[in-house]
Structure 1
Amino acid sequence: MARGEVAEGAARAGLAARGAIYLIVGVLALQIAFGDGKREADRSGALAELSEKPFGSALLWALGIGLAGMALWRLSEALFGAAGSGGRKAGARLLATGRFLFYAVVAFSVLSFAAGSRSHGSRSSDKQSQDVTSRVLDLPAGQVLVGVAGVGIVVAGVVIGTQALRRKYRDKLRLAEMSPRARTLTDVTGVVGGTARGILFAGIGAFAVRAAVDYEPDQAKGIDGTLRSFADTPLGPWLLAAVAAGLVLFGVFSFLLARWRRV
């Protein structure tokens, strides 16, 4: 019982922290779309933005602790299984392990940034992607590894977007406890926000594939570079604005999950 309560609290704090990051990144991307963006639209830009707000240090610590909670929740799923059917299967536990490692790294970078170490959390997502791509390309069969990873990220983006459109998130919600207004708001933010997130992931993966094909690590892009690339399409800044607005909605969706998700 105690473990369940701890995991539930960690999960809800983590989902709220994730929502805050996506909300800020979406706002920063909207500023870029309308010609007023001075920061990278990624986690580093979000942390820098928060650090300049009133009580910025406290907000950064809260964000880092929330993300550590997300990592703890995913670790509990890897060790004991997730809620719902199939949550104890090997595939689900392996996915939870990957999520735990990801959020552990993110939480460490945010907490380090909050503690004053600007070397952690302050590097742009583009620079991080290019550095990782460069190191992998130098490995034996590195070109293949980067290409496979890129394809995997594209597929993940397609899956994320498809699941959002199919409203698969409803399987994990306490729908009976939600009001009609809460269900409607969750559907709007979940479908639009999840689709935008899927498009972003697919774009990041596509640039990784391009970097592998060209054997050029500078072709890889993180969140900021991928978002900015949407403005270079025939739709211009309007596509960037649409995806950015979707990320804001995904942030709101994460807040709703923090309230209504079954853990």
Structure 2
Amino acid sequence: MDTSALTRNGRVRAERAARGSVTKGAAKAGFAARGVIYLLVGLLALQIAFGDSGHEADRRGALAEIAEKPFGSVLLWALGVGLVGMALWRLSEAVFGGVGEDGRSAKKRLAALGRCVFYAFVAYSVLAFAAGSGDGGGSSDEQSRDVTARVLELSGGRWIVGAAGVGIAVAGLWIGARAVMRKYHKHLRLGEMSPRVRRLVDVTGVGGGAARGLVFAAAGVFAVRAAVEYEPDQAKGFDDTLRSFAGTPAGPGLLVAVAAGLVLFGLFSFAMARWRKV
């Protein structure tokens, strides 16, 4: 018996399954779930910009907002399942490679694995919140301060926090730059879009990606500041980072623009659910 042929055939069948309709459905559900969360975070940030500061503009705030609505529990479970689907799709990319010429490269596989771990954590926090045994991952601001405080206590902690902050800031600039340059085009089935739909998708992709990148870049700068000043309270999560935009010389107008951009990113995620190559 040719065991190598059997192994090869098994690998081929597994790869086909990983690229099948179930995996595609999981990816679509994941993008849709991400879209709902960013849409709500953006809307909560808009409320803050216009004077309603009683809500947290982060994942926990979005989940709490959903929980208050009719059938909120059902929606929370659906979001959690969708995010599990996203994690599984990213896992399949890490194992079998993604679409595109460089989809099987070690760099792409490693990035997919990192995204898998991230979405697995987010899915767990959402499902725990839906089950009533969690707080949606906790406040992003409290998490940032607590983690920063622990790391600063380590030997070389200031360098670790500083390096992490620089990494987050650079990642934010990279996210924003790729959005502005429309790098997401290579991941979309553009031929299935009408010219009008393509223009609308570009508005959401560029505006949403730029806003998302700006938030990450700002959060990275605050982490660097926490390291330089040896002050954990200088680190900010998603909510505090958004609120900080209102304190700039541009005033609340900048927060409105960033919040609107996050709403656009939520809509862009829905477009990815529809036209993303999987």
Q: After TM superposition, is the score higher than 0.5? A: yes
The C-alpha deviation readout for 1:231-255, integer Å capped at 9, x for no partner, is 0001110000000000000000000
SS for the counterpart of 2:205 is helix
Contact 1:48 1:122 in 2 (8 A): no
Aligned to 1:192: 207
Aligned mate of 1:20, from 36, 57, 67: 36
Distance 1:88 1:209 in 2: 34
Aligned to 1:250: 265
The C-alpha deviation readout for 1:126-172, integer Å capped at 9, x for no partner, is 00111111111122211111111100010001111100110000011
- Count how many residue pairs are aligned between Structure 1 and Structure 2: 262
Distance 1:251 1:188 in 2: 12
Aligned to 1:68: 84
Look up the equivalent residue of 2:209 and give its one-letter code: G
**C-alpha displacement of 1:97:** 1.0
Larger of the two Rg values belongs to structure: 2
**C-alpha displacement of 1:122:** 5.7
Look up the equivalent residue of 1:211 and give its one-letter code: A
**C-alpha displacement of 1:110:** 0.3
Contact 1:19 1:254 in 2 (8 A): yes
Give the gaps of 5 or more residues in structure 2: 1-15
Aligned-residue identity in percent: 69
Aligned to 1:101: 117
How does 1:130-141 map onto structure 2 within 5 Å?
A: 130-141=145-156
1:79 maps to 2:127:
no
Per the normalisation by structure 1, the TM-score is: 0.98
Runs of 4+ in structure 1 deviating by more than 4 angstroms, as ranges, are none
1:153 maps to 2:168:
yes
The C-alpha deviation readout for 1:74-95, integer Å capped at 9, x for no partner, is 1111111111111111111111
SS for the counterpart of 1:102 is helix
* Greater mean alpha carbon deviation, residues 177-186 or residues 53-62: 177-186
How does 1:1-263 map onto structure 2 within 5 Å?
A: 1-4=16-19, 5-118=21-134, 120-121=135-136, 123-263=138-278
